[in-house]
Chains A and B, each alone.
Chain A
Amino acid sequence: MSWAFLRDLLSGVNKYSTGIGRIWVAVVFMFRLLVYVAAAENIWKHEHDEFECNVKQPGCENVCFDHFFPVSHIRLWALQLIMVSTPSLLVVFHVAYRENRERHNQKLYKTPGKIDGGLLCTYLISLILKTGLEIVFLVLFYKLYNGFKIPHLVKCDIKPCPNTVDCYISKPTEKMIFLYFLVATSCLCIVLNLSELSYLIFKYSVKCYLKRHVKKQQ
């Protein structure tokens, strides 16, 4: 079980997506997943070992690290990627349900994968969930770490540290660059999701309106 599983999952979703949905999948693969695995993971690899405090008191470094990094950036990033990709599964399940129904009964749908009726609702719900989760994680990042900055130095005075102690974070600039990259790609994905949402709502309300108009004329 690794990121390859997520990749295969998302490739399956690609089949039932709109054009904007496919762009979203490409952005998640290339700019988020691949950057995470190829670059970001290694920056945070030895963050605990390289976290250094100006004191010899045993236990002080551990306690300070735990205080300033309750959940490491890289773990939050991974959680965000998983959570944000999961709502697309709703669409896959719905299509599988449709195909299953067709197998047991006669042909019910022109194409089980076409986005209309119930599948449209599911698709819209998945889009709303995706956007919501992205925003939740961005807010979480902001609240946990007081903005998207990573300081060089943090002052720690938790027991057993004697008085106030200077603790130095490793590679703060590089971590900050990748954090900004994460925020930028998250925002891009939010914009894509919102545009897909408005496109679908607009398309189907026009379709509905035209159908009613034709019916009235008849």
Chain B
Amino acid sequence: MDWGALHTILGGVNKHSTSIGKIWLTVLFIFRIMILVVAAERVWGDEQDDFVCNTLQPGCRNVCYDHFFPISHIRLWALQLIFVSTPALLVAMHVAYRRHEKKRQFRKGDQKCEFKDIEEIRKQRFRIEGSLWWTYTSSIFFRLIFEAVFMYAFYFMYDGFRMPRLMKCNAWPCPNTVDCFVSRPTEKTVFTIFMIAVSSICILLNVAELCYLLTKFFLRRSRKVGNSKQQPNHENKEETKQNEMNELISDSCQNTVIGFSS
């Protein structure tokens, strides 16, 4: 079980996503998960071993490391990626449920079912409308919330996105104040900024996808309303024409009557 398994699970969702969704998934796997596994994990691999404090006092290093890094960057990113990928499972479950219903219909021999065999049902791509639209939109919404929460947690915990070279520690049992040096601070800063930048891109993609889906929804709605209004308007026009004609006829009748009487 590893990131590859996540790729298999989310790959299935890709078929039913919008184009922006597909781009988001690609960015997630190439620029975030792959970078995390291939590069970032190596940079943070020796973080505690090479965290050196200017003291021989046993235990001081452990305590200072724990004080400055309550949860390591790399673990926070892993959690962020897991949480951000999870809403897509909602869509996968909804699609699986719909497929299951269609298979049931097909097995019952329902004439409404337009498929010829089960393979077609398995390969079918569902359009994002109806209840699937709501599931998809809420999954994007949750993704946005998770991304924002983790970015804020990151900023809050580490006072910005820079990794300092030197930290001053005076937690017990360190005697007085002690200088502690972080390993590879510049490389870590570079990767941190990179991951934050890609997170922001993902947030923008999610916002764009949300706007696209909402626009599509409102356009479809207005088209439906427009279609349903056209027919009564047409009828009203005919009615008014008929009314005018009736008035004309009655006027001319009256005129004729008046004309006769006079």
A and B associate in one complex:
yes
* Chain A contact residues: helix, strand, loop or mixed: helix
Interface size of B in residues (CB-CB distance below 8 Å): 33
**Complex contact A52–B59 (CB within 8 A):** yes
Distance (whole angstroms) from the CB of B60 to the closest CB of chain A: 8
Distance (whole angstroms) from the CB of B122 to the closest CB of chain A: 14
A31-39, A88-96, A114-122: which lies at the B interface?
A31-39
Across the interface, which residues of B come within 8 angstroms of A177, CB to CB?
A: 70-71
Q: Does A50 touch B at the CB level, under 8 Å?
A: yes
Interface residues of A in 145-176 (CB under 8 A from B): 152-153, 166-174
Selected contact of B69 from candidates A2, A42, A168, A174, CB within 8 Å: A174
Closest to B45 in A: A42
Selected contact of B61 from candidates A33, A38, A52, A166, CB within 8 Å: A52
**Complex contact A173–B1 (CB within 8 A):** no
Q: A174–B96 Cα gap in the complex (Å)?
A: 37
**Complex contact A22–B70 (CB within 8 A):** no
Selected contact of B49 from candidates A7, A33, A46, A55, CB within 8 Å: A46
Interface residues of B in 60-92 (CB under 8 A from A): 61-63, 65-66, 69-72, 74-75, 78-79, 82, 85-86, 89
**Complex contact A166–B173 (CB within 8 A):** yes
A54-B59, A171-B65, A174-B70 known; A26 and B1 CB under 8 Å?
Answer: no
Across the interface, which residues of B come within 8 angstroms of A3, CB to CB?
A: 1-2
Selected contact of A174 from candidates B3, B63, B71, B86, CB within 8 Å: B71
Question: B206-245: contact bitstring with A at CB < 8 Å (1 yes, 0 no)?
Answer: 0000000000000000000000000000000000000000
Q: A55–B173 Cα gap in the complex (Å)?
A: 13
**Complex contact B86–A53 (CB within 8 A):** no
Across the interface, which residues of A come within 8 angstroms of B97, CB to CB?
A: 19
Distance (whole angstroms) from the CB of B109 to the closest CB of chain A: 15
**Complex contact A7–B65 (CB within 8 A):** no
**Complex contact B58–A152 (CB within 8 A):** no
A26-B89, A38-B3 known; A168 and B58 CB under 8 Å?
Answer: yes
Distance (whole angstroms) from the CB of B123 to the closest CB of chain A: 19
A46-B48, A166-B173, A170-B65 known; A34 and B5 CB under 8 Å?
Answer: yes
Q: A207–B75 Cα gap in the complex (Å)?
A: 48
**Complex contact B82–A29 (CB within 8 A):** no
Q: Does B6 touch A at the CB level, under 8 Å?
A: yes
Q: A172–B66 Cα gap in the complex (Å)?
A: 7
Closest to B61 in A: A52
Q: Does A128 touch B at the CB level, under 8 Å?
A: no
Q: A53–B69 Cα gap in the complex (Å)?
A: 21
**Complex contact B66–A4 (CB within 8 A):** no
Q: Does A30 touch B at the CB level, under 8 Å?
A: yes
Q: Does A43 touch B at the CB level, under 8 Å?
A: yes
**Complex contact A39–B89 (CB within 8 A):** no
* Chain B contact residues: helix, strand, loop or mixed: helix
Distance (whole angstroms) from the CB of A37 to the closest CB of chain B: 5
Question: A170-213: contact bitstring with B at CB < 8 Å (1 yes, 0 no)?
Answer: 11111001100000000000000000000000000000000000
Distance (whole angstroms) from the CB of A47 to the closest CB of chain B: 10
Q: Does A6 touch B at the CB level, under 8 Å?
A: yes
**Complex contact A22–B93 (CB within 8 A):** yes
Closest to B6 in A: A34
**Complex contact A29–B62 (CB within 8 A):** no
**Complex contact B1–A153 (CB within 8 A):** no
**Complex contact A7–B5 (CB within 8 A):** yes
Across the interface, which residues of A come within 8 angstroms of B75, CB to CB?
A: 39, 42-43, 174, 178
Q: A1–B37 Cα gap in the complex (Å)?
A: 21
**Complex contact B79–A35 (CB within 8 A):** yes
Q: A37–B6 Cα gap in the complex (Å)?
A: 12
Q: A216–B82 Cα gap in the complex (Å)?
A: 54
Q: A129–B100 Cα gap in the complex (Å)?
A: 29
**Complex contact A50–B48 (CB within 8 A):** yes
Distance (whole angstroms) from the CB of B139 to the closest CB of chain A: 13
8 contacts between A and B (CB under 8 A): A2-B1, A31-B82, A38-B2, A39-B75, A53-B59, A55-B58, A168-B63, A172-B66
Q: What is the interface of chain B, defined by CB distance below 8 A to chain A?
A: 1-3, 5-6, 9, 41, 48-49, 57-59, 61-63, 65-66, 69-72, 74-75, 78-79, 82, 85-86, 89, 93, 96-97, 173
Which 7 A-B residue pairings sit nearest by Cβ, starting from the closest?
A: A168-B59, A3-B1, A168-B62, A173-B70, A54-B58, A39-B78, A38-B78
